[in-house]
A and B are shown apart, each in its own frame.
Chain A
Amino acid sequence: MFRVRLLPWDYGIRNLFRRPMRSALTLAALSTVVLLVLVVAAFIRGLEASLAVSGDPSVVLVYSINAAADIENSSIPARTGALLSASLEGIDERFGTKFISPELYIGTRIKSTADGPPLFGIVRGVTPAAPLLRRQVQLVEGQWPGAGEVLVGRLAPTKLGCDPSLLAVGQTVSFDGRDWRVSGVFAAGGASFESEIWAPLAEYQQALKRQDVSLVAVGLQPGASVSDVELFCKERVDLEIQAVGETAYYASLQAHYKPVRILGWLVVLLVAGAGIFAGLNTMYGAVLGRVRELSTLQAIGFRRRAIAVSLIQESMLLSAAASLLATAISVLLVNGAAVRFTMGAFSLRVDGVVILVGCGTGLLLGFAGAIPPAVKALRYSVLDGLKAV
């Protein structure tokens, strides 16, 4: 007896098609707002995922105690790997090969064409043991580099800002005074290595006229502890080295990028706020042009509450459609797009969290954008509304 009789569901849908141009423009505006939110959220998630995926909980990085968290400035004796191998128990091993990877990590100028400008990229000198510890790394094309060859990460062209065809298998790149042939391409699941170029360690040391390395990565057996490696580093004061778990290392980098992530979420809030105001403006215009219609509905017996629900329904139908459209565009065009960022590159990631944020923002726009105009329109008395032009 006291149940509010709502307007028919298809009444709201028909209203949207009665004014197709206005509905289309509102749909476009809402889709743009939701797409912006999805892109920014995908940027943040891609950055977070890149650092999270880069760390392996069973790997310990040993590098110079004076380098803080900047491995590029680290220099430790080349014999450190052999010392670790001889002194530590608990190092993982497979078919007689210990999981120890000495690496030389250098930021340098790389030329992808003979007459092109040098571009800043990351080169890592590695041994064949490196993939044992960098388990995310997979060779997707070509083969492991031999003499005078390099392996290129799939995101390296993005990092360098050059055409991917210039770093294809068989092409030649130049850095540190030598030419190197690209022997293969590797993927690393979005990890930070994916934007690097890998060269044979011994050859790269020769090119740089160096005998030291930047770090030694150590793979531990299950049950072995990072603290054992830390203890060795503290005992060998003469080597001036320190040990950090790889996940802890990338967690500290994540903390370093926290201001960027906070700024990103702030941008999401600002864009969503701008979208709400834009939606409000559009809905005000749409509703005020229907005052007579709404008053007629009241005159024939529909309660104000039912009319308000119908207006909200129309708005949320539009915003839901906009959210779906924006999500489809972002999944097809944005997901996986590579972005160059400081010391590397990463892929934008449209995952469940991003879609939830985007669609949630869209639905919120639809709901919040409809209420004030609906309240205003229903303040008119029935008589004044019927007389409105």
Chain B
Amino acid sequence: MRLHFASALLSSCVALAVGCNGPSETAVSKPSAEGAKYRLSAEPGSPQGVKAARESAKDEEEVTLVGRIGGDENPWVEGQAVFTIVDSSLKACNEKDDDACPTPWDFCCDTDLLPSHKALVKVVGADGRPLAADARNLLGVKELQTVVVKGRAKRDDSGNLTVLADGVYVRN
């Protein structure tokens, strides 16, 4: 009896100790059941940065982009699987010294660079329209995560880049 009690107590302590360490820095939230088919298990090869893609990608071309989720105070669109990503060369505000910015993912320290370093990602279904679900819940992603998106580029006359993504890999 005493042995059973001691084992249970020891097991609880171990479980608490493990649980209380908190999530690791590279922990990734789980996507929803629908979003799981859009989450890639392996990183697609040879992704290019957002800045390079804005310069070279052509309309309707298949592209693979790597970037960090952010670029706006709110990089998401409510009710749609859409978000903005920023070229990895930009540093988030909280990665600079003495910056306690509450929304570091808006990259407000580099607003003059954002137009040339930002792209929009739409996770689309078979009909080519964005899925009607918040990208955070769909894909299990959050701000400042580095993602690799695979899809089709859409360019407009003003040079804006949108990626109609059919797969997203989360690096961290």
Contacts and interface: CB of A to CB of B under 8 A. Distances in A.
Given A66-B111, A242-B72, A237 B78 contact: no
Contact of A231 (B80, B115, B119, B160): B80
A230 B77 contact: yes
B118 interface: yes
8 contacts: A66-B111, A227-B80, A230-B77, A236-B158, A238-B158, A238-B160, A239-B158, A242-B72
A234 B83 CA distance: 8
B146 interface: no
B36 to A, nearest CB: 23
Contact of B160 (A66, A236, A242): A236
Interface of A: 65-66, 225-227, 230-231, 234-240, 242
B77 A235 contact: no
B159 interface: yes
Contact of B82 (A65, A234, A238): A234
A278 to B, nearest CB: 45
Contacts, number: 40
A239 B84 CA distance: 15
B115 A240 contact: yes
A125 to B, nearest CB: 26
A234 B77 contact: yes
A237 B160 contact: yes
A230 B73 CA distance: 13
Tell me which of A231, A236, A237, A242 has the highest count of chain B C-beta atoms within 10 A of its own C-beta.
A237
A238 B79 contact: no
Contacts of B84: 234
| Most-contacted residue by chain B among A66, A226, A235, A239 (CB, 10 A) | A235
A230 B78 contact: yes
Interface in B146-172: 156, 158-162
Contacts of B82: 231, 234
B120 interface: yes
